[in-house]
Amino acid sequence: MSYYWLEDTKQPQYARCDKCEDRYVMYSGRHSQRRSCRVHKWINGYCRDCREKYTIANALRGCYHISTPLCCGGICNIS
């Protein structure tokens, strides 16, 4: 019988936000873990990044940091 010591020591991956140029830790799909960016990308009344509907109350709230992957020059959607 063999035993293995598995240690999950992932190094954080950093990126630069395309909206506010802030450096952040990537969490999921090149988004930040917390909503710390102050800039939304409103398209037809909805934010492209956080999917919230535009209202006066959430216009001042934070959004996710987002960065474009370098491999294809756009946000990649796998379907």
Q: For the chain, what are the domain ranges?
A: 12-69
Question: 4 pLDDT exceeds 70?
Answer: no
Task: Give the pLDDT band of residue 78 (cuts 50, 70, 90).
Answer: very low
Q: Which residues pair with 32 in a beta bridge?
A: 26
pTM: 0.63
